[in-house]
Amino acid sequence: MTKMSRYTLLSRRFILSLVAFIGILSYTARAEAADSVVLKYSFLRETISVPELSTFAETGELSTKLRVYLKLAGREPEQLRSLLTQEVKVNGVILSRMLNNPVGETMLDQVSQVIHTPTNRASRESLRAALISSALPDGQVTLIETLENYPTSEVHVEGDRLAEVAQKITRVLGRLPSLPGLPRIGL
């Protein structure tokens, strides 16, 4: 076997292994995506299924449970829907780079006070994974996609601070380039 054909064979094996590895990661991330959201306003808290929240985000149709909860919490359904569906265009690769440096980790820590794991452990890592998983397929991030991609079976959301954190995410991510051909940013 010549050196060139050995190199070609190894390159193909490496590429196939990489594709398989990415496939496994994608399957694992989707298999362990959030099933429910614990939505908290003040002292009230309600567990809402992710599909129920997704239906509301997509159609505006409220389940009885969500309607009653929002009414008790004194919240307008359209405000929540707007927060869930607000799109921020962002390049997933650039987002990943940004979230894996000290500035990005500080932002993740701040946002993780509002959107976090049930135990408040590994919230930064979980949020990072959810944001990147949301951005990679279509070059945009929405809160509902982030919740759908959150890598724990349950995600807790501090509803009283949700608008504040959504504005912060929009402001920061909105500054990042969204198209693949744009120049690299120095992070």
pLDDT at 47: 97
**More confident position, 10 or 40:** 40
- Tell me the pTM: 0.76
| pLDDT tens digits for range 45-73 | 999 999 999 999 999 999 999 999 999 99
Residue 21 scores a pLDDT above 50 = no
Q: What is the largest CA-CA distance in the chain?
A: 74
User: What is the bridge-based pairing of β-strands 154-158 and 115-116?
Assistant: antiparallel
pLDDT at 19: 39
Domain spans in the chain, listed from the N-terminal domain onward = 34-173
Across the chain, where does the E strand assignment appear? 36-41, 44-49, 88-89, 115-116, 140-141, 154-158
pLDDT at 33: 79
114 CB burial (10 A radius; 0-12, 13-18, 19+): buried
| pLDDT tens digits for range 153-184 | 999 999 999 988 888 877 777 676 654 444 33
Give the separation between CA 30 and CA 109, rounded to whole angstroms.
23
Contact 149, 33 (CB under 8 A): yes
Query: What value does the mean pLDDT take over residues 102-117?
Result: 92
Banded model confidence at residue 187, pLDDT cuts 50, 70, 90: very low
